[in-house]
A and B are shown apart, each in its own frame.
Chain A
Amino acid sequence: MKPDARSFRIALVADAYVNPPPDGLDAVAVAAETGWGVMQLPADDYPPEVAEPLLAEVAEQMEEFARHGYGFVLVGERAGLPEALAHVGVPLPDQISPRTSSQLADFLDGQPAPRAGWDTGQTAS
Chain B
Amino acid sequence: MGVAFVAHCLLNQNSKVGDGAHCAGVYSPVIDVLREKGWRIEQMPCPELAFTGLNRFWAVKEQLDTVAYRRHCERLAEAVAGAIGARVKQGEDVVLVGVEGSPSMGVTITSSDPMRGGRPEWPEGTAEHVSGEGLFVEEIRKALARRGIGFPRVAGETHAIPGHDEAVQRAGLESALEG
Contact = CB atoms under 8 A, between A and B. Distances in A.
Q: Do A and B come from one complex?
A: yes
Interface of A: 1-10, 18-19, 26, 28-29, 31-32, 35-40, 42-43, 46-47, 49-50, 53-54, 56-58, 60-61, 64-65, 68, 70, 122-123
Contacts of A42: 83
Interface in B3-50: 8, 11-16, 18-26, 28, 31, 35, 40-43, 45-46, 49-50
Given A10-B14, A28-B41, A35-B25, A46 B54 contact: no
B126 to A, nearest CB: 11
A37 B43 contact: no
Given A19-B40, A32-B25, A35-B24, A57 B54 contact: no
B79 A37 contact: no
A8 B21 CA distance: 11
B53 interface: yes
Contact of B11 (A6, A38, A123): A38
A49 B19 CA distance: 36
Given A2-B18, A122-B55, 12 more contacts: A6-B13, A6-B14, A10-B12, A10-B14, A18-B11, A28-B35, A39-B12, A39-B43, A42-B83, A50-B79, A56-B79, A122-B54
Specify which of A5, A9, A65, A122 lies most central, judged by the most chain B CB atoms within 10 Å of its CB. Answer: A5
A40 B42 contact: yes
A57 B76 contact: yes
A68 B54 contact: yes
A116 to B, nearest CB: 9
B115 to A, nearest CB: 23
A50 B22 contact: no
Contacts of B8: 39, 61
Contact of A57 (B18, B79, B86): B79
